[in-house]
Amino acid sequence: MLFYIKDKNNRLVLKDLNKRRAIKALCNNCSAWATRQRQTCPVTECQLHPYRNGEMPEGLTPSDRAKAINDYCRDWCCMGRSAEVKICHITTCPLFAWRTWRVDRSTMVDEMDCLRDMNG
Ligand code: SF4
Ligand code: SF4
């Protein structure tokens, strides 16, 4: 699914995201786009920590990953207030579409529209 997110220069870039890539993108942002910093992130209590490198750790499931995103949004970003997560307006956050159990496609970019724009 295509979404606009911010790159390290704060420019909007179109990215093909799923939950795996979205977490990695968020962690890249959190690590100031320093790959080594993301890989060696010491914050083991962060819900996203097991998934920060774009891998599914042994013993965890896609459902655990989805829950990790929800928990991160609620507990780390919105200080425990689930209502705030629902009304989050940071549409360029890589986690935006997956911040609640129901996937929010409102900011998804239509691939066909992109192709039409590129072809003039
Ligand atoms: S695991 Fe958490 S603290 Fe570590 S880079 Fe990702 S978001 Fe940041
Ligand atoms: S989607 Fe919204 S609530 Fe979740 S981490 Fe991003 S800015 Fe925070």
Give residue 46 CA to ligand 1 midpoint distance, Å.
6
Query: Confidence band (pLDDT; 50, 70, 90) for 119?
Result: low
Position 116 scores a pLDDT of 63
Beta bridge partners of 15: 3
Alpha-carbon distance of 13 to 107, in angstroms, equals: 13
Question: Which residue among 19, 24, 26, 65 is best mutated to probe the pocket of ligand 1, counting the most ligand atoms within 8 A of its Cβ?
Answer: 26
For the record, the structure tokens of 64 come out as: 């655990």
Q: Is the pTM of this model over 0.85?
A: yes
Cβ of 5 less than 6 Å from ligand 2 = no
pLDDT band at 110 (very low <50, low <70, confident <90, very high): confident
Tens digit of each residue's pLDDT (9 = 90 or more) over 13-33: 999 999 999 999 999 999 999
The confidence band for 58, taking pLDDT boundaries of 50, 70 and 90, is: very high
> What's the rounded mean pLDDT across residues 70-89?
97
Nearest residue by C-alpha to atom 5 in ligand 2: 73
Residue 27 beta carbon below 6 angstroms from any ligand 2 atom? no
Distance between CA 37 and CA 73 in Å, rounded? 21
- Give the mean model confidence (pLDDT) for residues 21-47: 98
Q: Which two tokens stand for residue 80?
A: 């425990």
